[in-house]
């Protein structure tokens, strides 16, 4: 669904590694979506969501600490985007997940993939360029 490309590198080794881990989590979620042998995916969806949330919180903290350490001028607007992402993941309606697991998983994946691509290619690259 989403593959790591060199163009996603921001030039900070640890941040690039963490971004790759986010791609890995998104791809595992996509593999779960494609698994037709598993009829009830609810528990696995919840596990992936929890992992995504936990890892994203960890990653955002690292990235925000890095931005602070270099005196990044657009830190606050960047942090707002991070907070919006976490809020979206925290507000997942578990009843809706259970009602239509495949559709909801795909909706979440589309949101995450679009957000990752736009955020890394536009916002995160500016951290080292500005």
The DSSP string of the chain is: -----GGG--S-HHHHHHHHHHHHHHHHHHHHHH-SS-S--HHHHHHHHHHHHHHHHHHHHHHHHHHHHTT-TTHHHHHHHHHHHHHHHHT--HHHHHHSHHHHHHHHHHHHHHHHHHIIIIIIHHHHH-
1.20.120.50, 1.10.530.10, 3.10.20.590, 1.10.150.120: CATH of 13-129: 1.20.120.50
Spell out the domain ranges in the chain. 13-129
The two structure tokens encoding residue 103: 């559709």
Task: Give the model's confidence band at 110: pLDDT under 50 very low, under 70 low, under 90 confident, else very high.
Answer: confident
| pTM given for the model | 0.88
pLDDT reported for residue 41: 86
Task: Give the model's confidence band at 1: pLDDT under 50 very low, under 70 low, under 90 confident, else very high.
Answer: low
Task: Report the first-to-last Cα separation within the chain, whole angstroms.
Answer: 31
pLDDT reported for residue 59: 96
């Amino acid at each position: 669904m989403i593959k790591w490309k060199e163009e996603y590198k921001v030039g900070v080794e640890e941040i690039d590694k963490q971004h790759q881990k986010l791609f890995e989590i998104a791809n595992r979620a996509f593999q779960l979506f494609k698994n037709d042998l598993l009829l009830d995916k609810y528990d696995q969806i919840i596990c992936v969501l929890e992992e995504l949330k936990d890892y994203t919180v960890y990653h955002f903290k690292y990235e925000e600490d890095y931005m602070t350490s270099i005196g990044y001028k657009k830190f606050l607007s960047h942090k707002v985007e991070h907070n919006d992402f976490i809020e979206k993941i925290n507000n997942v309606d578990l009843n809706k997940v259970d009602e239509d697991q495949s559709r909801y998983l795909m909706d979440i994946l589309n949101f995450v993939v679009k957000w990752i691509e736009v955020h890394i290619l536009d916002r995160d690259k500016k951290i080292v360029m500005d």
